Structure 1
Amino acid sequence: MKDITKSRKSAAQPGPARAGRVSPGPAAGRRGAQTNDGLKTRDVAVSALYTVLVERRPFDEAFSRAAAARDLPARDRAFARLIATTALRQRGALQAMLSTYLAKPLPERMGRLDEILLAAVTQLLILKTPPHAAISLAVDQCRADRSAKRFANLANAVLRRVSESGQGRLSSLDNVALTFPDWMLSRWTDAYGAATARQIARASLIEPALDLTVKSDPEAWAAKIGAVVLPTGSVRCAEAGRIEDLPGYTEGAWWVQDAAAALPIKLFGDVAGQSVLDLCAAPGGKTAQLAAAGADVTAVDKSSGRLARLTENLSRLGLTAKTVVSDALTFPTGKAFDAILLDAPCTATGTIRRHPDVLYLKRPEDIPALAALQAKLLDHATELLKPGGTLVYCICSLEPEEGEQQVAAFLARHLNFTRRPVMLDEMTVPMSWRTEGGDLRTLPTHFADLPEGLQGLDGFFAATLVKSC
C-alpha cells in the first residue's frame, strides 16, 4: 500500500493529493437507508480523514459536513470525532506498524482504503474497540467503496493480524518522529532547544481537556461541573461529555475557550466603558471576554457565517457586541478606538493538540506568507487606535517569525509605540511564560504538574503595544 509503506519524511510532510485516487463522492461508503449506526459512525470518521489527508481541507469543516450528511446522534458523532482526531495524532506510528503486515505495496486506485484501515487500527489499538466490531465494519466500508471493495478480504486478514499482534509492534515505534513533519521539529529545536522541542511535540499529541471561561464565580461553577479552576482563572474539565448537557450552558454562564486563549484579553487591564475593536474576531471567545468585562466591542471578521455563529454564541451568553463583516485590512479608519485586539491569522502550530490536522495542512512556506499578512494587519491597526490606546497582538503559533520577531519588527517601524511588559501576577502568568522582552509565550508543555488528563496548554504569543501619539 503506497501511503502505508512510504518513508517517514513523505508520510509526515503534506503534499498534493495522491495521484490516481478516486474521490469517493457523496454516496461512497454508505448503504443508503439500511446503513446501521455503527457503519455511519465509522464512515463519518473515514470521510473526515480522507478530506484532511487527501483533499487537504481543514478537519472541523470536513467533520461537520460529514456528520451532518449522515445525521449522526450526539453520542455517535462524538465517537466518530474521537476516532478521526486520534488517528491524526497517531498516524505516523499506526501506518508504520500497518506496513509490516503487507508483503507488497497496493495499487494507487484504492478508494478510501488507507483511511478505512487507519480508522480501524486506531479503534483496535488505541481506543480498544472490540475486534469483531472494528474489523467487520471496516470490511463493510471496503465493500461499500467502489474502488476499495476488491481489497475487502485483504483488509479483513490484515486487521485480524493487527488485533492479535499489532500492539507490541506499535509500542516499539516513536510516534513523534513518525508523525511530525521534519521541518516543524527542526524549527522548534532551533527556537526552544532539542529537549523542549520534543516535549512540545509529545504534549501536542495528547488529547486536551475541555477549558471554559466563566462570566463570574469560577470556583462555584467548577464545583457544579466537577472541574478544577486553573491558576489563570479558567475552569478545566477532564471528562466533560456533551457540552450542551453541562450545568451553566443553557443559562450562558460560560463558553468554551482554551486557557491560553483566554490570557491575551487580561493584558488590556480594565476595559469597562472603553471602545474596543476586535479584529479577526471569530470564533468569538475573546469577543465574549471583552463584552463580559464591560467594553463597547466592535467585532470584525470577513466571514459572515462565522460572525453569525459568534452572534448566536453572544446571544446565549446574554452579551452584546457590534459585528461588522469586513476584511480587517480594509476596515474603515473613520473612527479611532481606545483599544484594539488583533488575534491574527497564523500557522496555528500551538494548537495541534486541539487541531491535529495542522500537522498535515501547514507547510514551511506558510510562515513567511502569514508573517507578511500579520505585519500588514498590525500596520493598519495603528491607524485605528487613539493616542494613548492599547493594541494587543496575539497568535496561536509557536513560530518566532509570527511572534517575537514580528513584534520587534513592528516596534522598529512604529517609533510612536512602546511595549508594555506583562503586568499580571506570577500566579496567573508565571515568569517562565514571559519572554525576555516581557511578552507572553505559552507552550503545550505548560501545566505539566497537573494530574493526568488536566495537563497542557495551547501555544500562544501575545504582546501589549501602547501608542504614544
Structure 2
Amino acid sequence: MKKKDGKQTSRGQAIACLVAWNGTGKPIQGFLDTLVYDSGLSHEDRQLAGMLVFGVLRRQGYLDAIISRFAKTALRKMEPLTLFAFRVGVLQLCFLERIPAAAAVNETVAALKTMHQPAWLLGFVNATLRAIAKEKASLTEPEAVGLLDHPVWLLERWRKHFGEETMREICRINSLEPQLCLHSLRTGREELARLLAAQEIRSVAGQYAPESLLLPDWRGAITSLPGFANGLFQVQDQAAQLVCQLLGPFREQGRYLDGCAGLGGKTCALAALLPAGAALNAVEPDERRVRLLHENLKRQKVQAQVSIFPGDLAAFAASKPLLFDGILIDAPCSGTGVIRRHPDIRWNRQPGDFAALQATQLSLLNTAAKLLAPGGVLVYATCSLEPEENQQVIEQFLSVHNDFRLKDCRDFLPASAVSLVDKQGFFLPLPAEEIEGFFAARLERVGGE
C-alpha cells in the first residue's frame, strides 16, 4: 500500500500480504515475494514488512486475545483487512520495542487510510490501538496467558505423541525468531568465523553439526555477508547438514542421487562431501527451482560434479540410469518440524493432509529403491514431526522390501549429534533453540561387498 506521496509502506504491504494469504492454504512465501520483496520498498522497509508478517503468524492467538479485550467489536465480525491491521498494530506495540508506540499506531492507521477505508473504521482502529498502547504495561505476558498460538487439533496431536511438557516446549520454540545458521562448505568453521569477526559479525559454533555457525545478531541481507559471493557457505540448519552425512561414507568413483533436490541446499552439501571421481545427480521438476538450483551450484563451485534432471523421480527412473551407491529422498512433507522458520505452516495444515503426503512419500521411496545398487544406502528424510510421514512410512516400506535393512543413524553421525537419535536408530531432533525438527532413516540394500 502507498502513502500520499505515492510510496509504498511496510505496514501496508504486510497487511496486504496477510489478507491475500488468508484462507488460501498456500505458503506465505509466494505472497511475500510478490507483495513485499518485489514491491519497490527499501531494504529496511522490506525487512520490517517481513518481520511484521512472520510476527503476526507466530503470535496470532496472543494478539487476538489483546484485541478482544480492548475492541468493542468481536473478532468474528471484523473483516480480514481490519483484523490483520489490528494484529500488525498490536504486534508492534507488544513485541517491537524499537518502534515508538505513536509510530506503530499512526503508521498502521495511515496504511488503512491508503486502502480507502471509511473514516469511522480509521477512528475505531486508532482509538483501540491507543487504548492498548496506554495499558501496555499492564498486559499479561504471552507465556502467562497460556496461549500456545497453534491450532487445537495440532496441539492435541503433539500432546498425544510427545506429552504435555514437550508439546509446550515445541510451541515456545515455534514462537521465537530463528537464528541464522550457516554451513561452512568450502572453508573450515574457524576460518569462516574469523572472516565474519573481521567485519564485526558475531558467530557461535553450532552444538551438533561440526561445520555449522550461528549468527545470533544478524538481521541484514544474506548476500551481504562476507564469503557469500564466493560460495564459502550456505544457509542451512544443523539438522539438514547432519542428514547429508547419513549417506556416507562416500565411495571414490561412487554414484549418488538427490531425488528431491529443491533449491539445492542438500545437493550442495552432498557435492561438497563427495570424494574425487564421485558424481551426483539431482532431480527437480519445478522450472523455477531448477534455475535457482543451477545458480546455487555455480555459486558453491560444485556444478561440475552435479548433473540436473529437470523432471520428477518417476520420469528420471524411466530414463533407465545406472544404479546408484547412495540416494537421498528429502521428501515433500507437512513441514511441522520447521514451523519456527515457516510460521504459516501451523495455520495452513489440516488433519487430513498426512494420509495424502504419506502416499507420495511411499511412492518416492519405492521408486528410489529400484534405482539403488545392492549394498547401497537409501536415506529418507522429512522436516515433519508426524509419525504418519516418518516411522510409519519406513515400517510400510520395509514390510514390502525384504532386501532392505534399517541401520542405526548414530553410527554415521559425529559424536556431537548422537543425542538426536532415538532408540530405534532414527535421527529425530525436535525443534529447539539451535536446531529444527527433523526425521531421517538410513536404509541399506542387502548385497554387494
Aligned to 2:81: 112
Gapped regions of structure 1 (runs ≥ 5): 1-28, 446-454
Q: Does 1:328 align with 2:313?
A: yes
The counterpart of 2:367, out of the listed 367, 380, 396, is 380
Aligned to 2:270: 290
Aligned to 1:258: 237
Deviation at 1:326, TM superposition (A): 1.1
Q: Does 1:430 align with 2:418?
A: yes
In structure 2, distance between residues paired with 1:89 and 1:379? 37
Q: 1:409 to 1:459 in 2, by over 3 A?
A: same
> How many corresponding residue pairs?
428
The counterpart of 2:36, out of the listed 67, 74, 79, is 67
Q: 1:242 to 1:69 in 2, by over 3 A?
A: closer
**What SS is found at the alignment partner of 2:47?**
helix
In structure 2, distance between residues paired with 1:289 and 1:44? 35
In structure 1, distance between residues paired with 2:93 and 2:248? 49
Cα deviation 1:25-61 (Å, max 9, x = unaligned): xxxx3347x234xx52112211222233343321111
In structure 1, distance between residues paired with 2:131 and 2:143? 18
Q: 1:442 to 1:149 in 2, by over 3 A?
A: farther
* TM-score (ref. length: structure 2): 0.90
The counterpart of 2:113, out of the listed 143, 157, 164, is 143
CA contact (8 A) 2:148 2:168 kept: no
In structure 1, distance between residues paired with 2:115 and 2:168? 39
Aligned to 1:23: none
In structure 1, distance between residues paired with 2:69 and 2:55? 21
The counterpart of 1:160, out of the listed 115, 130, 154, is 130
Aligned to 1:179: 149
Aligned to 2:163: 193
In structure 2, distance between residues paired with 1:246 and 1:176? 38
CA contact (8 A) 2:282 2:307 kept: yes
In structure 1, distance between residues paired with 2:230 and 2:429? 31
* Letter paired with 1:237: L
Deviation at 1:264, TM superposition (A): 0.8
Q: Counterparts of 1:331-410 in structure 2 under 5 Å?
A: 331-333=316-318, 334-335=320-321, 336-410=323-397
Q: 1:370 to 1:175 in 2, by over 3 A?
A: farther
In structure 2, distance between residues paired with 1:179 and 1:394? 27
**What SS is found at the alignment partner of 1:441?**
coil
* Letter paired with 2:221: R
Aligned to 2:199: none
Cα deviation 1:62-106 (Å, max 9, x = unaligned): 111112442122222111111111111111011111011122337
* Letter paired with 2:104: A
In structure 2, distance between residues paired with 1:172 and 1:214? 36
Cα deviation 1:288-322 (Å, max 9, x = unaligned): 01111224121111211011111111111111121
The counterpart of 1:466, out of the listed 413, 438, 444, is 444
Q: Counterparts of 1:259-274 in structure 2 under 5 Å?
A: 259-271=238-250, 272-274=252-254
CA contact (8 A) 1:110 1:148 kept: no
Aligned to 1:275: 255
- Of the structure 1 ranges 228-237 and 420-429, higher mean CA displacement relative to structure 2 is found in 420-429
Aligned to 1:12: none
Deviation at 1:152, TM superposition (A): 0.6
Q: Counterparts of 1:120-131 in structure 2 under 5 Å?
A: 120-128=89-97, 129-131=99-101
Cα deviation 1:124-155 (Å, max 9, x = unaligned): 11012112211111111211224566411111
CA contact (8 A) 1:113 1:148 kept: no
- Of the structure 1 ranges 100-109 and 42-51, higher mean CA displacement relative to structure 2 is found in 100-109
Gapped regions of structure 2 (runs ≥ 5): 197-201
Identical pairs, percent:
32
Deviation at 1:266, TM superposition (A): 0.5
In structure 2, distance between residues paired with 1:175 and 1:210? 29
**What SS is found at the alignment partner of 1:331?**
helix
Cα deviation 1:443-466 (Å, max 9, x = unaligned): 113xxxxxxxxx231100001111
Q: Does 1:45 align with 2:14?
A: yes
Aligned to 1:227: 203
**What SS is found at the alignment partner of 1:158?**
helix
Aligned to 1:21: none
Cα deviation 1:306-349 (Å, max 9, x = unaligned): 11111111111111121112122443241121211100011000
In structure 1, distance between residues paired with 2:257 and 2:188? 27
In structure 1, distance between residues paired with 2:116 and 2:83? 14
CA contact (8 A) 2:242 2:413 kept: no
Aligned to 1:9: none
In structure 1, distance between residues paired with 2:338 and 2:114? 35
CA contact (8 A) 1:97 1:166 kept: no
CA contact (8 A) 1:52 1:361 kept: no
In structure 2, distance between residues paired with 1:172 and 1:421? 40
Q: Does 1:311 align with 2:294?
A: yes
CA contact (8 A) 2:329 2:380 kept: yes
In structure 2, distance between residues paired with 1:59 and 1:68? 12
* Letter paired with 1:427: A
CA contact (8 A) 1:111 1:145 kept: no
Deviation at 1:285, TM superposition (A): 0.7
Pairwise CA RMSD: 2.0
CA contact (8 A) 2:244 2:266 kept: yes
In structure 1, distance between residues paired with 2:380 and 2:118? 48
Deviation at 1:159, TM superposition (A): 0.7
* Letter paired with 2:261: A
* Letter paired with 2:403: N
Deviation at 1:122, TM superposition (A): 0.8
* Letter paired with 1:322: S
**What SS is found at the alignment partner of 1:211?**
strand
